[in-house]
Amino acid sequence: MTDVLVIGGGPAGTPLAMALAQAGRKVTLVEAGPGLGGTCLFEGCIPSKIFRETARRLRELRAADTFGLCLPTQDAKVNWSAVLARKRAILKRRGETALARAGRIPTLEVVKGHARLLSPRSAEITLPNDQRRTISFEQAVIATGSIPVRPPIPGVDHARVLDSEDILDIGEIPQRLVIIGGGPIGVELGQVFRTLGSEVALLEAAPHILGPVDPELAQILTDRMQNDGIEITTGCQIKAIVNTGGDGVYVEYTASARGERRRFADTVLLVTGRRPRVEGLGLEQTGVTHGPHGIEVNAELETAEPGIFAVGDVIGQPMFAHWATAQGLALARHMRGLPSQFPLAEHNSAVIFSEPEIGMAGLTEAQARERGIAVGIARYDFAQDARAQIAAHDDGMLKIVYDKESRRVVGVHALVEGAGEIMGEAALLVRAGIPIEALANSIHPHPTLTESFGLAARMALASDPNH
């Protein structure tokens, strides 16, 4: 008997379980993976960012002479097995740290295994040694995350077709990589492997890559990727992945107005999205319902079965680790009977770890107009920015979206190397609804990229008749 059964120890379930247990609830956290951390740690954000760090360093190294540094050769060899070993070491360290932190909470039990609901108040846990254990609970939280989608393309199960999780264990750098899907993961890994020496082609079904990103920023990044030699084809429909009989496959596709084409690849990366992980949970033994967007919940994240909640990727978009954590922490407060603010989509922030990075918080210009907001835009070109010039990363732009009536900042969108780190301020601006005038007056330290926020606000106000 436990107070709360939490199924899934990722970015939603782990902080939720810890918060409830720290508040004195008896919590059982069941996780099937190698440790606490979920997809983000073991199969997503962290390992891909470790690869990207190596690529980023290699790019910087190739630019050393810009800064007066002379090397006999600027073409470093990449020791890929060292990169993989580094990845494994960081994952292990983080997984163990999370386990140790959980272990210090007396009322929290972490069980490695698969949980399957037997009824609305009981579940069976299958342990790694195949032994089974039955547990009853007062409340349960389903936080099983998501898995990559494999669209029904003929040949999609070929061993050379990797998804976003498989590729993180790839034994060598691909020579000819075809990426199916031009979302954040496809763009990030496409740039990483291009930098590391792969020939990269990116196939996207929509008319543009990076659909949800501000179109101006997406276009700058598209141009940059093409300049770096990544071949981008939009309006693609994938027909089949065909075995060549040799050391690769052909990806067959049609591209609008260009007819049928095919492209050789030794590696295909399939990144067309993720879907909630609902299989094998015994949901049918309960009243929990689910649809194409995952488990259905109300505004307090409670499922159709009272006492069973769901949180994170398993309830659908937006699938971000930090969003899942925010939901999990809000749910923990709610389950403790405390007032709780569940996160709102219009306050979310995200970073695409492209080169340069794209940071986003709140609404885009288009989303703000759809909501009937009288949109004002404060712009800034990083070509004029001191910090960006010093770092020779001055090809970027910032757009701050504000409401001309309420004066509040409702969105921030930046493309610049280092955009990720200025998104904390962006998220706070949007979350707290800071007026554009207050932003213009705030003192940002010099010389940093954060100054761009104040400068953009001041320039916008200088030409704003409402000011």
**Neighbour tally for 158: CB within 10 Å:** 15
Of residues 190 through 229, those in contact with its own copies by CB under 8 A are none
Of residues 282 through 301, those in contact with its own copies by CB under 8 A are none
Our finding on whether 350 is near its own copies (CB under 8 A) is: yes
Of residues 318 through 347, those in contact with its own copies by CB under 8 A are 320-323, 325-326, 329-330, 341, 343, 347
Task: Provide, rounded to whole angstroms, the least separation between the CB of residue 420 and its own copies.
Answer: 4
Q: Considering the complex, state which of residue 284 and residue 446 has its C-beta at the smaller distance from its own copies.
A: 446
Single out the catalytic residue among 114, 158, 334, 446.
Answer: 446
* Sole window of 2-10, 72-80, 211-219, 259-267 interacting with its own copies (rule: CB under 8 A): 72-80
Task: Judge whether 444 counts as a catalytic residue.
Answer: no
Q: Which of 283, 450, 456, 460 binds its own copies (CB under 8 A)?
A: 450
CA 137 to chain centre: 32
CA 377 to chain centre: 26
Our finding on whether 76 is near its own copies (CB under 8 A) is: yes
Our finding on whether 11 is near its own copies (CB under 8 A) is: yes
Q: What is the dihedral of CA 68, 71, 73, 77, to 10 degrees?
A: -110
Q: Which of 42, 253, 402, 453 binds its own copies (CB under 8 A)?
A: 453
Determine the Cα–Cα distance for residues 21 and 27; give it in Å rounded to an integer.
6
Find the helix or strand (DSSP H, E) in which 211 lies.
none
Q: Which two tokens stand for residue 214?
A: 């501000």
Binding mask 132-171 for its own copies (x = CB under 8 A): ----------------------------------------
Our finding on whether 103 is near its own copies (CB under 8 A) is: no
* Sole window of 50-58, 156-164, 231-239, 259-267 interacting with its own copies (rule: CB under 8 A): 50-58
Q: Which of 83, 210, 217, 436 binds its own copies (CB under 8 A)?
A: 83
Q: Which of 107, 219, 317, 442 binds its own copies (CB under 8 A)?
A: 442
From residue 80, how far is each of 7, 142, 196, 269 by CA, in Å?
35, 37, 10, 18
In sequence order, the 6+-apart residues with CB closer than 8 A to the CB of 261 are 252, 253, 254, 255
Scanning the structure block, which residue is given the tokens 């954060």? 450
Inter-axis angle of helices 45-62 and 80-103, nearest 10 = 140
Our finding on whether 359 is near its own copies (CB under 8 A) is: yes
Note whether 435 and 456 are within 8 A (CB).
no
Determine the Cα–Cα distance for residues 290 and 91; give it in Å rounded to an integer.
32
Determine the Cα–Cα distance for residues 253 and 448; give it in Å rounded to an integer.
45
Binding mask 396-435 for its own copies (x = CB under 8 A): ----------------------x-xxxxxx-xxx-xx-x-
* Sole window of 48-56, 108-116, 140-148, 372-380 interacting with its own copies (rule: CB under 8 A): 48-56
Note if the bond before 447 is cis, omega within 30 degrees.
yes
Residue 434, classed as helix, strand or coil, is coil
Q: Which of 226, 389, 406, 466 binds its own copies (CB under 8 A)?
A: 389
Our finding on whether 64 is near its own copies (CB under 8 A) is: yes
Q: List 253's β-bridge partners, or say none.
A: 238, 261
Our finding on whether 358 is near its own copies (CB under 8 A) is: no
Known catalytic residues? 446
